[in-house]
Amino acid sequence: MGANDLQQAITLHRPAKPVAAKATDRWSVKAVQALFDKPFMALLFEAQTVHRQHFPAGDIELATLLSVKTGGCPENCGYCPQSAEFDTGVKAQKLMEVEEVVRAAQAAKDAGATRFCMGAAWRAPKDRDVEKVAVLVEAVKGLGMQTCATLGMLEPHHAHQLKAAGLDYYNHNLDTAPEYYTDVVDTRTYQDRLDTLAHVRSAGISVCCGGIVGMGEAPVHRAGLIAQLANLNPYPESVPINSLVRVPGTPLADSEPVDPFDFVRMIAVARITMPTARVRLSAGRQQMGDAVQALCFMAGANSIFYGDKLLVTGNPDVEADTVLLRKLGLDARQVQEQEKGCAA
């Protein structure tokens, strides 16, 4: 069974636009926590009900992530094997050549992916770096794929330059709640993250922004992260929810694994509070198993990173994903996004 078998019936549909938050509609941490505290089955039922109101049954987006510039990052994010401060065996590499990236993007497209994300381990790219990435964006866009990039903190002119090159999405995760953020990283501030998101929005690029579960945070911090995301105006078009991949050599390598049901709750609450977003089941899928992933899809996840690697950590392979999606009756669909310049 091949990955292309997923493409039997290609359906074009226009997803609903993210809803701009009104002052009276803001999610408090207390209100989000109340969702987390619901009985598990009731929460899943509510999340699936919300999901069905905004997306076709069985719809799932396949995205592929490629590290185009690996290692050597000066940040000290406690979860990241690409930090220059930690001895994780990841060696710093130069930015990949255009031809290499195009080959990887074409392979991803051939395997069924519709969005291609390029990640570079920078704190903040320089002008010359953005110029080179813009060329990569143009090349991948030429294949007919949606483009996404995650390059660190951006200045306003960088965001506009990437938009001009055809960038559809920019990924910049908040990681966790603001009050827990300095327990994870102290080489930048939470406001730095929010500023980059504002620059991306101002340039007309759609936002991909989520967080990580399993970094030693308390339940209130998970509620705080969701509240931050849901109260962005508008909330992100894509919300990746990651389960910490514990990498030896990083400060968080010995963190307690996340209870699978708690992770499913995270997906469900993200779906309820951000009903029109693509909620992406991201890092950590390799450790979840099919049953937990199925619960995540039931809870409203409708996007996955597809391929054998997530930056520098493992991911379920394409064939395994193909089999699982078929078992669950989920279909990979081409998504035509006409707003904000996001063309499939």
Closest to 90 measured CA to CA, from 119, 133, 49: 119
342 is in an annotated binding site: no
Annotated catalytic, 208? yes
265 is a catalytic site residue: no
- From the candidates 77, 209, 296, 342, which is the catalytic residue? 77
Q: Measured between alpha carbons, how far is 226 from 218 in angstroms, rounded to an integer?
A: 13
> Which one of 14, 26, 52, 73 is the catalytic residue?
73
Sorted by sequence, the CB contacts under 8 Å of residue 269 that are 6+ apart come out as: 32, 35, 36, 43, 47, 223, 226
Active site residue 77: yes
Residue 213 in 3-state DSSP? Answer: strand
Residue 69: beta bridge partners? 120
Q: Which of 115, 148, 265, 333 is catalytic?
A: 148
Question: Which one from 80, 209, 296, 342 is the annotated catalytic residue?
Answer: 80
342 has catalytic annotation: no
Catalytic annotation on 209?
A: no
User: Among the options 115, 208, 222, 285, which is catalytic?
Assistant: 208
188 part of the active site: no
* H or E element at residue 208: strand 206-208
Going from the C-alpha of 119 to that of each of 71, 149, 199, 275, the distances in angstroms are 11, 6, 18, 27
Residues 171/149, Cβ–Cβ less than 8 Å: yes
Catalytic residue among 115, 201, 265, 280: 280
To the question of whether residue 73 is assigned a binding role by annotation, the answer is yes
148 is in an annotated binding site: yes
CA distance 4 to 145: 16
- Whether 117 sits among the annotated catalytic residues: the reply is yes
Give catalytic residue positions: 73, 77, 80, 117, 148, 208, 280
- Binding site for [4Fe-4S] cluster: residue ranges? 73, 77, 80
Residue stretches of the annotated binding site for [2Fe-2S] cluster: 117, 148, 208, 280
